[in-house]
Amino acid sequence: MSTVINQAKNFHKKALGIEVVVFFSLFLFSFLWVSLSSSLSLFLGGVAGLLPHLLFFLWFFSKKSQKNNNKMVVLFCGEGIKWGSTIVLIVLFFKLFIDMNIVAFFVGYFFTLLLNSLLPIYLKFRAK
């Protein structure tokens, strides 16, 4: 694995660890102060954002190819898996949980997407 991809893997591992801690802390805080329906909706929104990102991470960094061309194929396949699993999870959650608080769900979802995007960048600049 190239050094650039290896560094990216390390930054994303740290970011995922921090994201999981922040995610569960936010869920526990909401569970204590907000209704059960809202905190469960927040949790499910976070899962809908975190689980596909984790699947992408595992897919992309588990592939061992030597060619850059193959890495691009793996990247696009991983993005397809990420989009597909996001769609399936959101539809599944809205079908199974009738008492869903839509605002809390999307707050959890977008907060998780924000963490997915910004934590690796923050960790990269912090390491310099």
pLDDT digit of tens for each residue in the chain (128 aa)?
567 667 777 777 888 888 888 888 888 888 888 888 888 999 999 999 999 999 988 887 776 655 555 777 888 888 899 999 999 999 999 999 988 999 999 999 999 999 888 888 888 788 76
pTM assigned to the model:
0.82
**DSSP track, 73-123:** HHHHHHHHHHHHHHHHHHHHHHHH-TT--HHHHHHHHHHHHHHHHHHHHHH
CA distance 10 to 89: 27
CA distance 61 to 74: 9
